[in-house]
Amino acid sequence: MADKVPGKAWKVVFCGTAVNLCLGILYAWSVWTKQLISVPKAGQLITEGPGLGWTYLTNAQAANPFSLCVLIFALLMIPGGRIQDKMGPKVGAITGGLFLALGCIIAGLTKSYTGLIIGFGVFGGIGMGIGYAAPTPAALSWFGPHKRGLIAGLVVGGYGGAALYIAPLATYLIGAYGVASSFVILGIFFAAVVIIAGSQLSKAPPGYVAPALVTKAGAAPAKAAGTLVDWAPSEIFKAWQFYALVFMFIGTTQSGLLVIANAAPIGTKILGASAWLLVSWGGLINALGRVGTGMYSDKIGRGNAYAVNCLVSAACLFLLPSILGSNNILLMFLAVGIAYWQYGGGLALMPAYTADFFGPKNLGMNYGLVFIGWGLGFFMTRLAGTIKDITGSLDWAFYLSALVLIVAVLVSWVTKRPMHLGSGEVR
């Protein structure tokens, strides 16, 4: 067995990151809406500035294409994983990317609210749903369990990091060429990138054995160890570990979103005109958290990496009432940073966990099922609202969230890789 992955493997990783860097346009949506929102003038034609030829939008109209994009993304993510598993990553990534590119071009050319709904909302959502599921499983198939955290982090980090370049690039394009042209130019750019990068994506060939971690004689075995059996999606429901992974996903999502949804708006109000600093900081840490967590999960093990992230985050949640009360900007940045790191880290850890537990072959679909935990994690923000209504503050919501995190860590400690009984697998 070779001790190094072939060059093709790294090419797949970076091309996968490039595809995700296009799909992550969702995070930069507010750059366009800023140019188009004017509640008092809603419905009137814009006669000057970058939005020339468009009509002013209300806040609801500005949010609707984004919301539809998120929902259609969620609706198609699991079928997208199936497309990846059945037809390969090239088909998934290029189809998804081209839908997104076409959506951007439609939005730009129509210069209308309808164009935004159809182009960005519907086509963009379809593109993201199909495309997002393609790069990660392909990249992971080339690497052994000791590298999966880093690889998943690098690929999904592209999606999180997209806002870092799309927002300034779109701002420049809007200023130089106008809102409509910025959509069209980005659409053409995305099409070119996904065709080039997507065509380089491929799963490891049948019979390929990913190199294992080389350890010195007598040294401890690798921390990250995965199954050699590829579980079918319908089989994973029978393993209690599937439910444990869903609960662990709920843990990372609920706490991250609770802070992001409550501390970040408070911080942006305090910062006023400099609020973009906190938003950009969050975007940067979100992307770094995915790569960083993935990297150290390979070294110290998924469970330990999960525990480090969650326990630090739990400590931060216990202190959050004091931090928010102090109005200290530095501490606010630290708290938001920890939340984004932990949230992003969860998004890198869970695909690696899923691959370790259930194998890389059906990862697109299996991870889609584990991703249900991400959706369920949103409950905490709603529950927090109810707690605030009852108690008058969010303090108990933060404490409850920290407790959920601690329970999730305990669950992660007792959750070991399931054995596939049908194949007679042994640990």
Partner 1 sequence: MTPNTAWSVPFILGPQNLAIDAVVSFCVSVLLAVLVNAEAQAFASTFLGDSRIGAKDRFHFNAFLHLDILGSICYLVGGFGWPRTMEIDRSKFAHPRLYTVITRLAGPVANFLLAGIAGSLAAVMKSFEWDPLVFLMVIGVSITTAIYNLIPLPPLAMGFLVCELIPPDDVRTRSLFLQAGPFLIVALALLERITHQGIISPYVNPIIEAIFTYFRGV
Summarize as ranges the residues that interact with partner 1 (CB under 8 A): 42, 58-64, 66-68, 70-72, 74-75, 78-79, 82, 113-114, 117-118, 121-122, 232-235, 237-238, 257, 260-262, 264-265, 365, 368, 375-376, 378-386
Q: Which is nearer to partner 1, 143 or 249 (CB)?
A: 249
Minimum distance of partner 1 from residue 124's CB (angstroms): 12
Minimum distance of partner 1 from residue 392's CB (angstroms): 16
CA distance 368 to 223: 25
Classify residue 213 by its DSSP letter: P
Minimum distance of partner 1 from residue 257's CB (angstroms): 6
Cα distances (Å, whole numbers) of residue 206 to 60, 201, 202, 384: 50, 15, 12, 48
Q: Which is nearer to partner 1, 80 or 292 (CB)?
A: 80
Minimum distance of partner 1 from residue 196's CB (angstroms): 29
Residues paired with 37 in a beta bridge: 57
Minimum distance of partner 1 from residue 118's CB (angstroms): 7
Q: Which is nearer to partner 1, 111 or 223 (CB)?
A: 111
Q: Which is nearer to partner 1, 12 or 245 (CB)?
A: 245
Minimum distance of partner 1 from residue 60's CB (angstroms): 4
Minimum distance of partner 1 from residue 370's CB (angstroms): 13
Residues in CB range of 201: below 8 A, 6 or more apart: 12, 15, 16, 19, 88, 89, 90, 93, 134, 135, 138
- Asked whether 75 and 132 are in contact (CB, 8 A), the reply is no
Minimum distance of partner 1 from residue 68's CB (angstroms): 6
Per-position b or e across 299-322, b if 16+ CB within 10 A of its CB: eebbbebbbbbbeebbebbebbbe
Q: Of the candidates 122, 160, 131, which has an alpha carbon nearest to the alpha carbon of residue 27?
A: 160
Q: Which is nearer to partner 1, 234 or 326 (CB)?
A: 234
- Asked whether 285 and 344 are in contact (CB, 8 A), the reply is yes
Q: Which is nearer to partner 1, 113 or 249 (CB)?
A: 113
281 class by beta-carbon count within 10 Å (0-12 exposed, 13-18 middle, 19+ buried): middle
Q: Of the candidates 94, 99, 124, which has an alpha carbon nearest to the alpha carbon of residue 32?
A: 124
Minimum distance of partner 1 from residue 261's CB (angstroms): 4
Tokens 């990151």 belong to residue:
17
C-alpha dihedral (52, 55, 57, 62), degrees to nearest 10 = -70
Q: Of the candidates 332, 318, 322, 302, which has an alpha carbon nearest to the alpha carbon of residue 417?
A: 302
| CA-atom Rg of the chain in angstroms | 22
Tokens 């393609």 belong to residue:
134
The H helix count followed by the E strand count for the chain is 18, 0
Return the amino acid letter for 4: K
- Asked whether 399 and 255 are in contact (CB, 8 A), the reply is no
Tokens 């923000």 belong to residue:
381
Q: Which is nearer to partner 1, 70 or 319 (CB)?
A: 70
Minimum distance of partner 1 from residue 225's CB (angstroms): 26
Q: Which is nearer to partner 1, 43 or 175 (CB)?
A: 43
What is the number of other CB atoms lying within 10 angstroms of the CB of residue 421? 11
* Residue 373 tokens, joined: 């935990």
Q: Which is nearer to partner 1, 199 or 391 (CB)?
A: 391
Q: Which is nearer to partner 1, 150 or 365 (CB)?
A: 365
